[in-house]
Amino acid sequence: MLTFGVEEEYLLVHPTTGLPVARSEGVRAAAGLGKTVDEDEVQPELLQAQVEVATPVCQALEEVGGHLLRLRHALGSAAESLGCRLAAVGAAPAVGETPVPVTERPRYRAMHISAGQLVDEQLINGMHVHVGVPDREVGVAVLNRIRVWLPTLLAMSVNSPLWYGHETGFASWRTLVFSRWPVSGPPPRFTDLDDYESRAQALKEAGAVMDRGQLYWHARLSENYPTVEVRCLDVQLRADDAVLLAAIVRALVATAIREQKEGLDVPECPGELLQAATWRAARDGLTGKLVTPDGQLRSCGDVLCMLMKHIGPALEALGDTREVDALLHRLLREGTGADRQQKAFAEGGLAAVRELITSQSLLA
């Protein structure tokens, strides 16, 4: 049974204007006063209008869903008590004229000095899934095998179509904002652990990153936990949307470990093709076509069928098949977070979007 956990980033917004508000320290403190939240479960983020949560290590999907709902409700109540609302949205739909202040941490201040405007525009929120691996060597083998599926995961997670009060033409504008950092996007294929470590060190020595925390590949080895961390996902409107993606990520890792033990070939996909597939997934979500792991343009339905077939044995072994099937059918029926935001925007403008992203965040 592979253990896993989820990190989510949220936005704090004004209840009537929907603009980001810089109240993260107060919200974190208020949430931590309750009996249901441990101090290390609620963490600061880059800007003072953002807050991050991290679930404990979990073994079952219901644990992940339960912890996310508990943390979302604690933060939502804390935000309400301080005159703002919690929004589970991948990018701020509305932004004020004055930049949101950077959180008072030495690392964040250093980032602002080195990339001021980019940091000011980092009002984006992701979801990161950590899956336990036996060691870092196995972790690198997992990265090499799951990288071809990252664009598909992104397409399923899109939840950031709006920016500065208008539609961007992209279902995940967050992905485009993040792509402006020096190290981002799909990870390269690594020869082995030494290759991973040497590339990471070379990027640091070249000044491309300040530290390994700025290796913003869509999947990487965690420097803090014995896990592979998948970070290509927009934060999800509802907790159950996050549960679906966490289950699929865990099954992908389990499948990769099995294939590595069996000596199966590593799937090949050139970096430039993965990059293009990522861009397309960020633009269209599940409304257009997707690029398959072997580089073919196919319908979203076909690619999702390929994914489910690929991870089917792992889902069955983990006992997740029934719940994943149900949640996937709901996703296809109701649409991604981006689809729902675009529908709300078309019907009721930014006010309807604000209501959607704040009310849905507290639902299962």
pLDDT in tens, 44-78: 999 999 999 999 999 999 999 999 999 999 999 99
pLDDT score of 280 more than 90: yes
Residue 19 has pLDDT above 80, yes or no: yes
Q: What does the pLDDT read at residue 199? A: 97
- Per-residue confidence (pLDDT) for residue 160, from 0 to 100: 98
Mean pLDDT computed over every residue of the chain:
96
Query: For position 1, what pLDDT does the model report?
Result: 82
% of the chain with per-residue pLDDT over 70: 99
Q: How confident is the model at residue 350 (pLDDT cuts 50, 70, 90)?
A: very high
In this prediction, residue 229 has a pLDDT band, given cuts at 50, 70 and 90, of very high
Mean pLDDT of 87-109: 97
Evaluate if residue 110 carries a pLDDT over 80: yes
Q: Would you say residue 81 has pLDDT above 80? A: yes
Tell me whether strands 126-132 and 4-13 are parallel, antiparallel or unpaired.
Answer: antiparallel
Q: What is the pLDDT of residues 159-197, one digit of tens each?
A: 999 999 999 999 999 999 999 999 999 999 999 999 999
pLDDT in tens, 3-15: 999 999 999 999 9
pLDDT of 40: 83
- For 274-308, the three-class secondary structure string (H helix, E strand, C coil) is HHHHHHHHHHHCCCCEEECCCCCEEEHHHHHHHHH
Percent of the chain with pLDDT over 90: 96
Residue 187's pLDDT is what?
Answer: 98
Residue 58's pLDDT is 98
Give the pLDDT mean for 105-131. Answer: 97
How confident is the model at residue 38, as a pLDDT?
Answer: 81
Q: Residue count of the chain, please give it.
A: 364
Which pLDDT score is estimated for 32? 79
> The tokens 């935001």 sit on which residue?
341
**Distance (Å) of CA 150 to CA 8, 78, 88:** 18, 34, 21
- The whole-angstrom distance between residue 79's C-alpha and the CA centroid of its chain comes to 22
Q: How many CA atoms lie within 13 A of 287 on its CB side?
A: 19
| CB count in 10 Å sphere of residue 52 | 22
User: Which residue segments constitute the domains of the chain, with CATH numbers given?
Assistant: 4-362 (3.30.590.20)
pLDDT, tens digit, 9 for 90 and up, residues 22-48: 999 999 999 976 667 887 899 999 999
d(CA 96, CA 218): 29
Measured between its terminal Cα atoms, the distance across the chain in Å is 24
Q: Identify the CA nearest to 229 among candidates 241, 212, 206.
A: 212
